[in-house]
Structures are given as C-alpha cells and as structure tokens.
C-alpha cells in the first residue's frame, strides 16, 4: 500500500462565467468541486495505475466534509483527521478563456492536530508527503515527521517547497522540486548543484521541456521528455511523484523514464490527477527503446 499525506488539502472549485468584471454581479453558469491538494492528485494517479493507495490529511468543517464526499465518490480510500478549522477552498474563475485564482488561507493547524495526523499514518510500502504546509505547522515540524516516517524503513517521498523542502530533504528518500522551487531554496540556477545542496538521498527535478533530472548520491541521471507535449501542466509534477512511489526500488534510469512518460501523459489530460493512459504506454515504449548513438 502507498499512503499519500496532504498536510494542507483543499476543495478545488471551478466557476464558469462568460466574463469576469471587477465591481459587478455575476451569475455563475456552472460550478465544479473536487478534492484537491498535491497529495490527492498523486493518489488519483496511483489509483489509475492500479495501486492500493490511502489518502491522509486534515479536514475540517463543511468543506472538509465535501472533500470526504468527493473522495468517496471517486472511490479513493481515505482517513482524514478532523481539525477544528474549516478546510480551505481554491476557487478558479474561468471566464473568457482566462483563469482567476482565489486561494483561501485555510485553517490554522495546532500541534495536537498535527500530532493526531502523524499518529494516523499507517505502515506502508511507500509514503508520500505532498504540498504546502498549513498555517501553524512549520518546516521543523515537517522535517521531524519525515525523519520519524523514514525511520520506519520505507521510502518517504516529499514534494514541497521553500524552507519546508530544505529542512525535510535530508530525511527523505526522494524530494521532487521543480527548477524554480530548487533555485528558490538553494540560490543557484544550476539544478545539479542545487540538488546536491539539498542533501537528500535522491533529488528529482522536473525541468519542464527539458525533462527530468535525478541526482542520487554521486550519480546524475537525465531523461528527456518523450516528445514536446502541450496541454495542462498542473499535475505533471504530481504524476512524477506517483511514478516514483509506484516504482520505488526500480533502478533509477528505468524509474526516471517511467516518470517522464507518466508526466507527459498527465499534461495531455484535462485535470490534475489524471493522465492519458494510451499516451502513457506509447511514451514508455519510446523512452525504453535504446538511445541512438
């Protein structure tokens, strides 16, 4: 079983409007809501891959209930710890081909709630901790959690940013920043140098059109994208994390090719947490064929 922990989950709500005019009244044409947060996207991808996956996180208030209901509807197993604050919503207003995001601040999470979340994390083959931290939980608290989870002897994959990434990296089996997140936390634009500075056992960097880079110990692996894909880049990084979790233990060159194929297939899908499965198979095949020399 793979467990994904989403410390700061959300209900992602989409409003469709003909146009958005500040200062005016609008009748929303259609409303869509789904459970969101990077760990939930990772779990959706893992489930589509046929993996046994459990979603963990903190959920509070009516919006927390809506997250639970959506996970139930999607058939995703979950164990969400109740918290006193109301789970945040992320409202995306789609109007005139343009997206306007309104991110609620989310609940303040207390030390007891954070401890309750940790106490609920079961033993798993692989653990994933994905996304931002809620207000009230600092980078040291995340690093402590990752250290204790790693001490259980199973791979822990962390996908976060900023100080939380920097502090947790030495305790994780793998971290997966993108190029901007890595540069922001290390101060260098060279991803290999940045990856070494993070001192994680493995640093997998998503480089967009340049594919994936993994620095594992003193080895550097690179894999190009299967082909240039255009589409929805949201969720491409979550697909990389899902591939790493599903394939943990596979030799890095093969694991990285699989992650690049799944990530490109996610870009072709309309929403984060899904991927184009036919494209995924095709991309895996073309990345596995021997390179031309």
Positions marked catalytic? 238
Near a second copy by CB under 8 A: residue from 51, 61, 161, 210: 61
Q: Which is nearer to a second copy, 32 or 199 (CB)?
A: 32
Near a second copy by CB under 8 A: residue from 84, 99, 140, 151: 99
Q: Which is nearer to a second copy, 25 or 292 (CB)?
A: 25
Q: Per rule CB under 8 A, is residue 195 in the interface with a second copy?
A: no
Piece of the chain touching a second copy by CB under 8 A; list 23-31, 38-46, 120-128, 221-229 = 23-31
Burial class of residue 11 (count of CB atoms within 10 Å of its CB; 0-12, 13-18, 19+)? buried
Q: Per rule CB under 8 A, is residue 23 in the interface with a second copy?
A: yes
* CB distance 241 to 130 below 8 Å: yes
Distance of alpha carbon 159 from alpha carbon 130, whole angstroms: 5
Q: Per rule CB under 8 A, is residue 26 in the interface with a second copy?
A: yes
Distance of alpha carbon 262 from alpha carbon 264, whole angstroms: 5
Distance of alpha carbon 222 from alpha carbon 212, whole angstroms: 6
Distance of alpha carbon 247 from alpha carbon 242, whole angstroms: 8
Secondary structure (3-state) at 118: helix
Q: Per rule CB under 8 A, is residue 91 in the interface with a second copy?
A: yes
Q: Per rule CB under 8 A, is residue 66 in the interface with a second copy?
A: yes
Minimum Å gap between C-beta 274 and a second copy is: 22
Distance of alpha carbon 8 from alpha carbon 136, whole angstroms: 11
Q: What is the CA radius of gyration of the chain?
A: 19
Distance of alpha carbon 72 from alpha carbon 223, whole angstroms: 36
Burial class of residue 293 (count of CB atoms within 10 Å of its CB; 0-12, 13-18, 19+)? exposed
Distance of alpha carbon 104 from alpha carbon 87, whole angstroms: 9
Piece of the chain touching a second copy by CB under 8 A; list 60-68, 127-135, 164-172, 201-209 = 60-68
Q: Per rule CB under 8 A, is residue 102 in the interface with a second copy?
A: yes
Q: Per rule CB under 8 A, is residue 135 in the interface with a second copy?
A: no
Q: β-strands 126-130, 156-159: how paired? A: parallel
Piece of the chain touching a second copy by CB under 8 A; list 99-107, 174-182, 207-215, 270-278 = 99-107
Near a second copy by CB under 8 A: residue from 14, 17, 74, 233: 17
Distance of alpha carbon 183 from alpha carbon 194, whole angstroms: 7
Piece of the chain touching a second copy by CB under 8 A; list 97-105, 135-143, 184-192, 211-219 = 97-105
Q: Per rule CB under 8 A, is residue 95 in the interface with a second copy?
A: yes
Q: Per rule CB under 8 A, is residue 63 in the interface with a second copy?
A: yes
Q: Per rule CB under 8 A, is residue 32 in the interface with a second copy?
A: no
Query: Token digits for 226?
Result: 């299967």
Residues that bind a second copy (CB under 8 A): 15, 17, 20-31, 33, 61-63, 65-66, 69, 86, 91, 93, 95-96, 98-105
């Amino acid at each position: 079983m793979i467990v994904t922990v989403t410390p700061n989950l959300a209900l992602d709500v989409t409003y469709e409007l003909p146009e958005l005019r500040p200062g005016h009244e609008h009748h929303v044409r259609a409303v869509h809501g789904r459970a969101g947060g990077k760990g939930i996207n990772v779990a959706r991808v893992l489930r589509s891959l046929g993996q046994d996956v459990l979603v963990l996180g903190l959920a509070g208030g009516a919006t927390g209930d809506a997250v639970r209901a959506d996970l139930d509807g999607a058939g995703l197993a979950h164990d969400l710890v109740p918290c006193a604050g109301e789970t945040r919503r992320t409202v995306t207003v789609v109007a005139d081909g343009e997206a306007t995001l309104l991110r609620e601040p989310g609940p303040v999470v207390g030390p007891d709630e954070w401890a309750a979340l940790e106490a609920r994390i079961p033993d798993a083959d692989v653990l994933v901790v994905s996304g931002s931290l809620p207000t009230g939980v600092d980078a040291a608290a995340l690093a402590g959690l990752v250290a204790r989870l790693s001490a259980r002897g199973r791979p822990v994959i962390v996908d976060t940013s900023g100080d939380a990434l920097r502090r947790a990296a030495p305790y994780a089996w793998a971290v997966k920043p993108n190029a901007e997140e890595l540069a922001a936390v290390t101060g260098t634009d060279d991803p290999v140098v940045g990856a070494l500075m993070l001192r994680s056992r493995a640093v997998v960097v998503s480089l967009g059109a340049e594919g994936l880079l993994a620095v594992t110990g003193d080895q550097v692996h690179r894999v190009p994208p299967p082909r240039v894909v255009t589409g929805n880049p949201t969720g491409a990084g979550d697909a990389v994390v899902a591939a790493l979790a599903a394939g943990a233990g596979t030799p890095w060159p093969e694991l990285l090719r699989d992650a690049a194929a799944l990530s490109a297939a996610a870009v072709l899908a309309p929403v984060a947490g899904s991927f184009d499965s036919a494209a995924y198979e095709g991309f895996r095949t073309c990345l596995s064929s021997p390179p031309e020399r």
